[in-house]
Amino acid sequence: MDSAPPIVRIAVLQPLEGLAASGAADTLAALGRIGAEVEFDVADTADACLRSGSREGVDLVVLDRCASHVSESVLQGLGDEGPPVVVVIDSDQAEAVALDAFRAGAADCVRIGRDYAEVMPVVALEQIRRWRQLRERTTARRRIAWLERLHDAMISEIPVSLMVLDGAGRVALVNPEFTRAFGASVEQVTGARFEQVFPTDFIESGGLRDLISRGQSSVQGAARLARHRAASGEPRIFDVRCRRLDEQGHVLLVLSDVSESEILAKRLLDLERYNENIIQSINSALLVVDTEGCITFVNPTAGEILAAEGGKLIGRQVGDWFDGHAEEGSLIARTLKEGVRFKGAETMITLDDGSVLPIGISCTPLLDDERQLRGAVAIFQDLSEIKQLQRQVLQTEKLASIGQLAAGVAHEINNPMGFIHANLYQMSEYLQDLQGYWEGAERLQTTVAAADWAAAQRACESLSRLAEEIDIDFVRGDFGKAVRESQEGSERIRHIVQDLKDFSHQDTAERMLADINQCVDSTASIVWTMMKHSVVLEKEYQDLPQIRCYPMQLKQVFMNLLVNAYQAVEERLGESCETGETGTIRIVTARVDGGVAISISDSGVGIAQDSLARIFDPFFTTKDVGVGTGLGLSTSYGIVQRHGGTMRVESEVGKGSTFEVWLPEGTQPAEVMRS
């Protein structure tokens, strides 16, 4: 099974000539918004792009504003077997450019425009989806062909005689082993009745007529032993089995030569029944226990999951791990007690070190030839990777919630940009006025340098009139004010962009020291753009020590809590927020009990008492259908637990809720769940 959602790999061709750095960044940024982890392989030549696009696992090739001959070269090089190619063209290029790209084999064309950042991810996702479906279908066809070849090889090479009889008991097919074992060619036996093929003593000793009759009527018969003497006089013994193949009465006879040891026949039947019960459920880790719950067999995978070598598990009680986290007790114990089967159930096991592991398990009672219970077979899989995958899917889903903030962020950037633009326009007018003043000053300087005092007097009077006309003192003061305001606006934009950049930064593979106050505050700054019209945000940060953690995971926790708080406030305000009424969200950080505590309180609708006990359960939500997934708090709770911390909630309906996260200082805590 996969441990993570598949990474999207995109090869991008961005020629050095004719493509500004900002344009290149626009395309990469747009592709980065497709909602999955993306790996880019950026090339600046057609040959480099072809090498990238031809690698296994590449989902998409993007030709970013390339010359027509370059695009055609790449499309021809990739051919029909390569990944889809999306061609990006400039807004001023003719439709003929796009038509030429389609004729050359492009999957789609995207024109640069105002909606480029929204259109490009949609186009890329659609092409990636189609390409992956095509690859899956191709893989499936190859798999089927391989299985057909494997089937033919098994029929031809299997050291067991096979014979297919039609409804009239005539031979329809035999395999090569049959012709070798019975000394008859395919031509000799095909179309003949089985009585003409087998010796009489062979048919009578094995009761073949009854066996075949039972097989044709779908009544399952027991295996038979058929005997006869070969031409050399040596006795030959065959284990004969019959199985119905279709509604037309075709049956398969399987004849295994067991002449070397007739004594092994009984043991062989027992082993076949034993293995049949195991094979019914085998998938990965396997345990066999006796009626007392004592382990009698394990495979290596079971030893790995249970964190013990296989040999050290034999003889131990299965209850050491499968001790029944559910009230009804261990599933294996119920199989031993009630003889019931379980398939695909989920439960938890406790390892020797005390950690708890989620597993998917199937249990089957182990029966002997008299249908008496001899034990149980348990096949189980470690679900940690699946749970991790669920968390990663949720991470992607929750990051998509940033879209809710987009309007607020755009507004926050647009406001300073508005007055920066106005100030720049005003300053350009001031510069024109000042240009005339500076020219008058230059004339005055020239007359003074020439000692032409009369001309200097006239130039001075002209300069004074010009200064009065343009109100030089006001222009000088207002010019400086406009510069300062523009600096403040640009600084505000820089802070907004930096906060978004920090939030979108990927975690490292290892924990790192981080300032929790900064994590909380930068996340609050992002969410604030969405909530500022209806919420008063109060902050009270104490000095905190840095702790070793995964900062981006914690930021996701704070994002979930703040967005939930805002939604709770909005739900309580309803339409009253349009009249100016606001709610309150309060963030408090403090050093508590050898760790740091982060408290987020709101004046929202609150949570009912009967829901508080389940608030951290996966898929449980108090929101309306379509509003919440029920995974945000569950995931946040898991993140905090993996950091060795705790999360608790206090709430009162109609008054609001308080969520408190506590994280330990000091050494890295043990992981609760294995990944």
Query: What pLDDT digit, counting tens, does each position of 562-611 carry?
Result: 888 888 888 888 755 555 678 899 999 999 888 999 999 999 888 888 77
In this structure, are residues 519 and 554 in contact, taking their beta carbons and an 8 Å threshold?
A: yes
Strand 108-111 and strand 85-89: pairing? parallel
In this structure, are residues 544 and 587 in contact, taking their beta carbons and an 8 Å threshold?
A: no
Q: Can you spell out the DSSP letters for 93-119?
A: S-HHHHHHHHHHT-SEEEE-STTHHHH
- Which tokens go with 607? 């949570």
* Mean pLDDT, residues 91-101: 82
What is the longest distance spanned by two Cα atoms in the chain? 148
Closest CA to 629 of 316, 400, 326, 290: 400
pLDDT at 146 over 80: yes
Confidence band of 2 (pLDDT split at 50, 70, 90)? very low
Strand 373-382 and strand 512-514: pairing? unpaired
Task: Name the one residue in this structure whose structure tokens are 């050491």.
Answer: 320
* Mean pLDDT, residues 544-555: 86
DSSP-derived letter for residue 83 is: P
- Other C-beta atoms closer than 10 Å to the C-beta of 355 total 14
* Mean pLDDT, residues 280-285: 59
Half-sphere exposure of 351 (CA within 13 A, CB side): 18
Task: Name the one residue in this structure whose structure tokens are 């500022």.
Answer: 532
Task: Name the one residue in this structure whose structure tokens are 């995931």.
Answer: 635
pLDDT tens, residue by residue, 362-398: 888 888 878 888 888 888 888 888 767 755 654 554 5
Q: What percent of the chain has pLDDT over 90?
A: 7
CA gap 135, 130 in Å, rounded: 9
Closest CA to 515 of 589, 450, 570, 610: 589
Q: What is the 3-state secondary structure (H, E, C) of 514-526?
A: ECHHHHHHHHHHH
* Mean pLDDT, residues 199-213: 86
Task: Write the single-letter amino acid at 104.
Answer: A
| Least confident piece of the model among 97-111, 155-169, 388-402, 423-437 | 388-402
Confidence band of 673 (pLDDT split at 50, 70, 90)? very low
Task: Write the single-letter amino acid at 640.
Answer: V
pTM passes above 0.85: no
Q: Is 541 exposed, middle or buried (0-12, 13-18, 19+ CB in 10 A)?
A: middle
**Residue 38: strand pairing partners:** 8
pLDDT of residue 506: 52
Task: Name the one residue in this structure whose structure tokens are 């037309």.
Answer: 248
pLDDT at 289 over 50: yes
CA gap 31, 542 in Å, rounded: 40
pLDDT of residue 267: 59
Helix ranges, 532-606 (H): 551-573
Strand 656-664 and strand 595-602: pairing? antiparallel
Strands in 481-611 per DSSP E: 512-514, 535-541, 547-549, 583-592, 595-602
Q: Is 425 exposed, middle or buried (0-12, 13-18, 19+ CB in 10 A)?
A: exposed
Better pLDDT: 527 or 142:
142
Where does residue 35 fall: left (phi above 0), alpha (psi -120 to 50 degrees), or beta otherwise?
left
Better pLDDT: 170 or 417:
170
